[in-house]
Amino acid sequence: MTTADEVKKIRVGAVAGNRRRGGDVRITLSPKTVGSTSGFGGVLWLGRGERVAEHYHPYSEEFVHVIDGEVELVVEDRSFALGPGDSLMVPIGKRHRMHNHGEETARLVFHLSPLAPRPDLGHVDLEEPVSPSAAQPEVGA
């Protein structure tokens, strides 16, 4: 187990992808990978026509930054068109979902903070998973 006082580099290719809720989510920095104690983050690839199912985080704010591509991020009932260089914060407890209506794969960086008391409490699904058979360990585990 890595502790928070160690400095550790994580390569995205060394982290298993999670496609359960949509897209290809890679948690690169987390309690499990680097011993973080205040949050976790990583990258998301969302292919043309792909979506991330609606959910919310009862303990964490989610910070999203678009590197490439274009996505629609809906927070509660408000829609935001995001493209390269755009950032958005989803407040604690706000339901949200994402869809790539663009022609190219979208690449995003995200961070959630603070951590939930346990990883299984950090994410509440409001829709059926996009790929239920692609279940992975809970985020931040």
pLDDT the model gives residue 115: 97
**Structure-token match 């360990």, residue found:** 137
Given this model, what pLDDT does residue 52 score? 96
Pairing of strands 96-99, 51-56: antiparallel
> Tell me, what's the pLDDT at 2?
61
Q: Residue 32 — φ and ψ, nearest 5°?
A: -70, -40
Helix or strand run (H / E) with residue 33: helix 31-34
Q: What is the pTM of this model?
A: 0.86
Token pair for 96: 């949200």
Position 60: which residue type?
S
**Domain ranges (residues) in the chain:** 18-129
Q: For the chain, which residues score pLDDT lower than 50?
A: 135-141
Superfamily of domain 18-129: Jelly Rolls (2.60.120.10)
Q: What's the CA gap between 38 and 60, in Å, rounded?
A: 10
The rounded radius of gyration (Å) of the Cα atoms in the chain is: 14
So what's the pLDDT on residue 5? 74
DSSP 8-state code for residue 55:
E
CB 137 within 8 A of CB 69: no
DSSP tag of 23: S
What pLDDT does 128 receive?
A: 82
Q: For position 137, what pLDDT does the model report?
A: 45
pLDDT at 37: 94
